Structure 1
Amino acid sequence: MLKPLVLTLSTLACLTPWSNAQALPLDKIILPAGFSIDIYADNVENARQMALGDKGTVFVGSRRAGNVYALIDTNNDMKADKQLTIASGLNMPSGITFHQGSLYVAEVDKIWRYKDIEAKLPEIGQAELVYNKLPNKSHHGWKFIAFGPDGKLYIPVGAPCNVCEEPLPFASILKLDVDTKETTIVAKGVRNSVGFDFHPKTGELWFTDNGRDMMGDDLPDDELNHVTQVGQHFGFPYIHNADIADPEFSNPEIAKLNTPPVLNLGAHVAALGMEFYQGQQFPEQYRNSILIAQHGSWNRSSKVGYRVMQVELEGNNVKSYQPFATGWLQGEQSWGRPVDIMTMPDGSVLVSDDAGNAIYRISYITDDAKK
């Protein structure tokens, strides 16, 4: 039976975009010269993955809140002034994506579709069940989803543990044909990917993966990985990073299959959403580089992460890895946790924050604008 929607016209409420801004110390955020950060929307409870509709609607998933939102900028001032709760009471609907006029929402074990959603707003049609054969374990069960250049829906299935041996599709990234319901395992040995994107020139899948816990403050690193063939293995649970053997699990034959990461991102930084920047607003050195949201550590003796990092590439090789936006962590106190990155049509970038309940907009003041 299809899950009912919790929606009335009263849920379409005008936001006061700066109503909570005093509680969000944006003056603490450090950006490269020429960049600025503003509030795009606040009071977006537990904001996680974002998706952009054809008509400019910013859709936002959540994890703990169980909600899916639509944010609307009615006067084109780069701040959302209307917020609609599309659905509530869902099971960790962190992952969302927009494709061919429809919004797709991932619960732990189901994929739903809202057809022609922007054409119907503020009314919402009944959700269609697309797929219901994903595992229903909640540990690392929340999703990040996106359609690839091949038109298939890519879905990570995290390991239901810190570290363990479980059969596929656990610890993998699969792709789903939403018409035939056929699935293909794209990558194996992936502990918990909550962010990926496709290279703008090659179309190949790149993804972040969170390293296991309880091996100390500095081991193992989170990873940035690159899939070059379907079914590739990325080591978990036997090998972490390029060559760190797991202290609890061993399988020499599978360990030989380990694909080393393109880049070690740091231990416990909780690398989540990532995106190849393809906008035209930022300076040239940002084009086709990767921006990664690091949610921040939860079990390290001193906190790390809580920032947005930039990875500059030369071909498929890393040229540099450096901070892009920092300041959500002040000493050992954090006031925000970046989750996802999304480029807007004007080339600015949105960053979601599930602790600050906000969406930020980072923009660059171009030379023409300065003049």
Structure 2
Amino acid sequence: MSKSKIHVRLVTIFVLLAMQPAWANGVADIQLPAGFKIEVFADINTKNGEQLSGPRMMAFDAKGNLYVSAVASHRVVMLPDHNRDGVADEIVTVAHDLNAPQGIAFVGDTLLIANQDGVVKVNQTQGSWTKPQAFISNLPTGGHTLKNVKLGPDGFLYINVGSSCNVCLENEPMRATILRYTIEGKPAGALVTLGRHQQSAIFARGLRNSQGFAWHPVTGAMYATNNGADNRSNTLGGAVNDEVPPEHLNKIEAGKHYGWPHCWGGSKETGTQIEDPNFKGSVGFCETTQAPVVSFKSHTTPIGISFLDKTNWPSAYRADAILALHGSWNRKQPAGYQLMRVKFKANEPTEVEDFATGWLKNQQAWGRPVDVAVGADGALYVSDDKANIIYRVSYKSK
């Protein structure tokens, strides 16, 4: 073999090695409780895998096909598994050229997609998808741009709108809220507006960025994750403390205020809220706001949440929920990058514990879980927008 051919072959080998995903050896290091296993359902090696760029929120259609928003490629994709072997066959584009898409939800056969400026809808006709059509328009953009949309058990649509800032007084009332709409796309907020005033869509307020939400399968109560403010201190004029404020899981109720920007979660037992000493509200304001039902380590960024009643996991898990901690970006000691189990007793959350860890190694994160969703096969699917992977977590009894 000539020297030139040897050189070309060596270069090719080096290029191929360089193209190996950073997670190639990482999945095997993810730690789960006994009996569980995690596998790659889809990644760059899947047919059309380059379209799975920045996978975020997930939803299943009536046939059990998984749909994922891919925010970095501005599209929504479908990941069919026709032979039900636990591995996606290919990645199929459903909609493209979207505007920071994140949340997706089915209402019948219609797929709703939450862009940063509103919700659009697409339908499947003769095997192909229609172009996106406006459904809910004029939502605030910028700041926390990514929005989620889900259909609640009450038949209404819920959409989060994050704050425009870290800590501030908003000029736009829709900011830092969860909104509610009818399935026809009409505002249906907490308060019914009479007379000449337009109906408000605002359902709950004081939520800095609540991207993930789900409903308890027995009580129907709505639970939403929430990300606390950055660069705060627990003393007036004090240094930034990485351990405040905590991240939250809130029980969302109509018309309630959850504290941002003036308060953050205190004691669950007493239902207290703690006032930000550097951004105080009116006297007694924090006492009127709702405390979280569960708190997490500061800046770990909880996002997706799913109840486990539809899994084929052990019965001890099926009353509980799993949520994804996307991980910190500004802590001196990185934290998060894992899945947490929220335990429920008598249909109320009682404690949290680690469920899946290993995306953080040697203070470096090779993956960042975003959303969790239960499939028709009883497994839990997990999206990762850093490693560009969809994982499948299953349980195998002895």
TM-score w.r.t. the length of structure 1 is 0.89
Q: Are residues 316 and 76 of structure 1, via their aligned partners in 2, closer, same or farther at CA, if it must alter by over 3 Å? A: closer
**Given that residues 130 and 178 in structure 1 are in contact (C-alpha distance below 8 angstroms), is that contact kept between their aligned partners in structure 2?**
no
Find the counterpart in structure 2 of residue 287 from structure 1: 318
Aligned letter for 2:355?
F
Aligned letter for 1:235?
G
**Given that residues 168 and 261 in structure 2 are in contact (C-alpha distance below 8 angstroms), is that contact kept between their aligned partners in structure 1?**
yes
Query: Structure 1 residue 63: deviation in Å?
Result: 2.7
Structure 1: state its 5+ residue gaps: 1-18
Structure 1 residue matching 2:62: 3-state secondary structure: coil
Q: Are residues 21 and 40 of structure 1, via their aligned partners in 2, closer, same or farther at CA, if it must alter by over 3 Å? A: farther
What percentage of residue pairs aligned between the two structures are identical?
Answer: 37
Is 1:195 the equivalent of 2:212?
yes
Structure 1 residue matching 2:28: 3-state secondary structure: helix
Aligned letter for 1:160?
S
Find the counterpart in structure 2 of residue 148 from structure 1: 152
Work out the CA distance in 1 between the residues paired with 2:349 and 2:27: 30
Work out the CA distance in 2 between the residues paired with 1:64 and 1:278: 32
From 165, 168, 171, the counterpart of 1:164: 168
Q: Are residues 21 and 355 of structure 1, via their aligned partners in 2, closer, same or farther at CA, if it must alter by over 3 Å? A: closer
C-alpha RMSD of matched pairs (Å)? 1.7
Is 1:356 the equivalent of 2:360?
no
Query: Structure 1 residue 366: deviation in Å?
Result: 2.2
Find the counterpart in structure 1 of residue 309 from structure 2: 278
Structure 2 residue matching 1:256: 3-state secondary structure: helix
Work out the CA distance in 1 between the residues paired with 2:110 and 2:319: 27
Is 1:90 the equivalent of 2:98?
yes
Q: Equivalences for 1:192-341 in 2 at 5 Å?
A: 192-215=209-232, 216-227=241-252, 229-242=253-266, 243-246=273-276, 247-341=278-372
Aligned letter for 1:156?
N
Structure 2 residue matching 1:82: 3-state secondary structure: coil
Query: Structure 1 residue 256: deviation in Å?
Result: 2.4
Bigger Rg over Cα: 2
What is the total number of aligned residue pairs between the two structures?
Answer: 344
Find the counterpart in structure 2 of residue 29 from structure 1: 30
Work out the CA distance in 1 between the residues paired with 2:157 and 2:147: 12
Query: Structure 1 residue 231: deviation in Å?
Result: 0.7
**Given that residues 220 and 244 in structure 1 are in contact (C-alpha distance below 8 angstroms), is that contact kept between their aligned partners in structure 2?**
no
Structure 2 residue matching 1:27: 3-state secondary structure: helix
Work out the CA distance in 2 between the residues paired with 1:20 and 1:100: 37
Structure 2: state its 5+ residue gaps: 1-19, 45-51, 190-201, 233-240, 267-272
Find the counterpart in structure 2 of residue 70 from structure 1: 78
Runs of 4+ in 1 over 4 A off after TM superposition: 19-22
TM-score w.r.t. the length of structure 2 is 0.83
Q: Are residues 24 and 145 of structure 1, via their aligned partners in 2, closer, same or farther at CA, if it must alter by over 3 Å? A: farther
Work out the CA distance in 2 between the residues paired with 1:236 and 1:63: 27
From 124, 129, 133, the counterpart of 2:129: 124
Find the counterpart in structure 1 of residue 140 from structure 2: 135
* Cα displacement string for residues 154-189 of structure 1 (whole angstroms, at most 9, x for unaligned residues): 001100111111141111101111315123122110
Work out the CA distance in 2 between the residues paired with 1:366 and 1:279: 17
Find the counterpart in structure 1 of residue 11 from structure 2: none
Find the counterpart in structure 2 of residue 108 from structure 1: 116
Q: Are residues 86 and 248 of structure 1, via their aligned partners in 2, closer, same or farther at CA, if it must alter by over 3 Å? A: same
Pick which of 170-179 and 297-306 moved more: 170-179
Query: Structure 1 residue 145: deviation in Å?
Result: 1.4
